[in-house]
Amino acid sequence: MTKFELFHLIADRDCAEVRKYLVDHQMTEPFSFRNVHYECHAKALIDLSGATEVPAVYLLEEKKLIKGKNEILLWLRSKPS
């Protein structure tokens, strides 16, 4: 069940670090990965939050956006494993 949406770009170093953290800590299941290289995913990020920067995680239930590698990693580290 998707609870979070990770907006990312494949070629972006910060995005890669966030994806790697998710994979290394086996946290991918509740995430939908949305590559903003594709126009429909970029538009979804703008529609949800008005933001265009990546990486960004949108929390579906809370309707909240977390932007930037450092903020996302801080949030992920605070989640129980």
Q: Domains (ranges, CATH) in the chain?
A: 4-78 (3.40.30.10)
Non-local (6+) Cβ contacts of 31 within 8 A are 2, 3, 4, 5, 6, 22, 57
Checking 38-46 for CB contacts under 8 A at 24+ apart, the result is: 41/7, 44/5, 44/7, 45/7
Percent of the chain beyond pLDDT 90? 78
Q: Record the pTM.
A: 0.91
* Residue 24 · residue 69 · CB < 8 Å: no
Q: What would the pLDDT profile of 28-63 be if each residue is shown by its tens digit? A: 999 999 999 999 999 988 888 887 889 999 999 999
Q: Is the pLDDT of residue 26 over 90?
A: yes
As a whole number, mean pLDDT of residues 10-31 equals: 96
Residue 81 pLDDT level (bands cut at 50, 70, 90): low
Q: Which residue is associated with the tokens 């903003």?
A: 36
Q: Output the pLDDT for position 48.
A: 82
Phi, psi for residue 78 in degrees, rounded to 5: -85, -10
CA 14 to the chain's CA centroid: 11
As a whole number, mean pLDDT of residues 23-32 equals: 96
